Structure 1
Amino acid sequence: MGTNLFQWLFTDPVQAGSNGNLPGAEPFHFLWPWLIFCLAGLLIAFYYSVEGRKRFVRNKPVLKYMFDRYLGWFAVICFIGLPLIGARVLLDGYFFAWRFWRYLWLLALVVWAVMWVVYLVRKYPADKANYAAYQRRQQYIPKSNKRKVRSASR
């Protein structure tokens, strides 16, 4: 039972179905979970960019920076996933229906998740502490009075 990984990754579903003695193309079992995941990811990123920044992280610049950075990339990954799913469903015998593209997309998703977890574990506590120290320093710096500046310039 020797399987050729290269052939398995780069075979279109029609050819894989004929190699597996199937009457048609190889079935795609993960259409709905992937489609729901990509659409939910785009919806979350859209909601955050429209309303979530104002509602949830208005006064928390460290969280705003983190969500802006990582949800932006998450939206890009989900947006790229939609044409890959569509190519697998509608373009059975063509280039983008290969398994390779879906596994490359999944690898990008895993890399994104690992980068976010590493940021949360390593950098986020330090960034949060730096911002808290900055706020403590700012309370001792006197605020300028804009009225005096305006009246002096007249």
Structure 2
Amino acid sequence: MQSNLFRWLFEDPVMAGSNGGLPGTEVFHFLWPWLIFCIAGLLLTFYYSVEGRKRFVKSKPLAKRMLDNYLGWFAVICVVGLPLIFARVYLSGYFFAWRFWRYLWLLSMVVWAATWIYYLVRKYPSERAGFKAYQTQQKYVPKGNRSKRNARAGSR
């Protein structure tokens, strides 16, 4: 079983097709779904970085920080996915056409989603409560007179 899994992961599509009795390379059935996923992910992160930060999370610093971190990693995953898909389709007899790279890429997406869910469930509620407490505290802290301080600084 272990040798078959090893062979299945690290076999290029040309060899997999000839070993499976196919006349050519093994067919890659997931080209369009993965391509659409990667392009949509890149468009989403581009839209967020250009317009979404100002429009949706302008007054929410915790949400802005969370989306900056996690959408940045999502963009990296999508950028890495495009050459892997290209290698599978056009470089079918070479190193990056192995299934191992696509499953490693898929594992990175699962880890990314798990860390985001963990953050949303475990850490974000406590950070949000702490930030609300800080905002409430700042309502009652007296503010200094900035005009006097600026006037004194200019007269030195």
Same fold, judged at TM 0.5 (above) = yes
- Give me the identity figure in percent: 69
Return the letter of the residue paired with 1:125: P
After superposition, the Cα gap between the structure-2 partners of 1:52 and 1:2, relative to the gap in structure 1 and judged at 3 Å, is closer
Aligned length: 154
Alpha-carbon offset, residue 141 of structure 1: 1.2
Residue 143 of structure 2 is matched in structure 1 by: 143
Unaligned runs of 5+ in 1: none
1:38, 1:109 → 2: CA distance? 11
Alpha-carbon offset, residue 2 of structure 1: 9.5
In the TM superposition, 1:3-152 aligns within 5 A as 4-152=4-152
Q: Secondary structure at the match of 2:140?
A: coil
Aligned alpha-carbon RMSD (Å):
1.4
Q: Secondary structure at the match of 2:25?
A: coil
2:147, 2:20 → 1: CA distance? 81
Alpha-carbon offset, residue 92 of structure 1: 0.6
Instruction: Calculate the TM-score normalised by the size of structure 2.
Output: 0.95
Alpha-carbon offset, residue 142 of structure 1: 1.7
Unaligned runs of 5+ in 2: none
1:3, 1:140 → 2: CA distance? 68
Instruction: Calculate the TM-score normalised by the size of structure 1.
Output: 0.96
Return the letter of the residue paired with 2:139: Q
